[in-house]
Amino acid sequence: MAQNTVEKTSITLLGLGAMGTALARTWLAAGHRLTVWNRTPGRATALAAEGARVADSAAEAVAANALVVVCLLDDASVDEVLAATDLAGRDLVNLTTSTPAQARARAEWARERGARYLDGGIMAVPPMIGVPEAGGYVFYSGSRELFERYQETLRVPAGTTYVGEDAGFAALHDVALLSAMYGMFAGAAHAFALIRREDIDPASLAPLLADWLVAMAPAVHQTADQLRSGDYTKGVVSNLAMQVAGTPTFLSTAEEQGVSPELLSPYFALMRRRLAEGSGEEDLTGVIDLLVR
């Protein structure tokens, strides 16, 4: 059998929290030469035993390889860790959670220091890293050339989805999806609260709730289509007027069950505002325009 002689990219990884450690282990298992650094050196001990080279400083780690991956706590940490490093000629991939504005500013900051830049938004939790069937992936934005150059390396820990040359787009996609997730969690929390004091096993509600959310998820495609066309009445099944008329039942049920309506009330208030503008035949899509300042 022929030996695989393709040389794997050498990587520097700064940050060994739960996510950074998961990334490191996956790259090491795939045969990549890895240099790591962490503010707390003890976190690198296990990785050293697995084959990682541990740098004594961030500057030493950055100097070791052209590809430098950063996975730190926040944008301020990136400033602090990279302040004394020489980034000239380096390819910087920043997987630190940030806002779109921070990512765009970081891209310019990197360019001024002679580095090429790619921003990333991780759509996974550490146990999903290195497990393709788990479905985790990372949004990337910024230099397309940089993304294409390292795509094979970057897809080792998780799938890759490139979303544009604007360095802020990865962070924007990341936060958009996570915002929808928290909205879903809020609805689920309210649902469980409604049955909390009843003789109903939460475990019996859970599969019903999960199936219902899955059944409703395709509605986002209709919302997107309505936003693109500007016609919010297109394909409407339950119009805004009818849905607003039904909201008192939800609020009364919450009151009867001794449950705060604070997770539902803000959305219901937006629905009423939109209806007051004379848009009763629309879908719920018009609420989005009320949110955009």
Instruction: Give me the residue label for tokens 């970081």.
Output: 106
- For residue 278, what pLDDT is reported? 85
User: Is there a single domain that holds both residue 216 and residue 270?
Assistant: yes
User: Is there a single domain that holds both residue 106 and residue 246?
Assistant: no
Residue 149 lies in a domain: yes
Residue 177 lies in a domain: no
User: Is there a single domain that holds both residue 25 and residue 121?
Assistant: yes
Residue 190 lies in a domain: no
Number of independent structural domains in the chain: 2
List the CATH number of the domain containing 202.
1.10.1040.10
- For residue 6, what pLDDT is reported? 58
- For residue 3, what pLDDT is reported? 41
User: Is there a single domain that holds both residue 165 and residue 264?
Assistant: no
- For residue 245, what pLDDT is reported? 98
Residue 181 lies in a domain: no
* Of 41, 37, 5, nearest in space to 24 by CA: 37
Cα-based distances in Å from 33 to 13, 86, 176, 217, 272: 11, 21, 34, 42, 58
Check if the beta carbon of residue 90 is closer than 8 Å to that of residue 68: yes
Tell me which of 139, 172, 205 is where a domain ends: 172
Residue 274 lies in a domain: yes
Print the domain residue range for 111.
10-172
List the CATH number of the domain containing 121.
3.40.50.720
Whole-structure pTM value: 0.93
Residue 145 lies in a domain: yes
- For residue 153, what pLDDT is reported? 98
Residues of the chain with pLDDT under 50: 1-5
Cα-based distances in Å from 12 to 68, 85, 106, 138, 147: 5, 13, 18, 18, 16
Residue 168 lies in a domain: yes
Check if the beta carbon of residue 168 is closer than 8 Å to that of residue 75: no
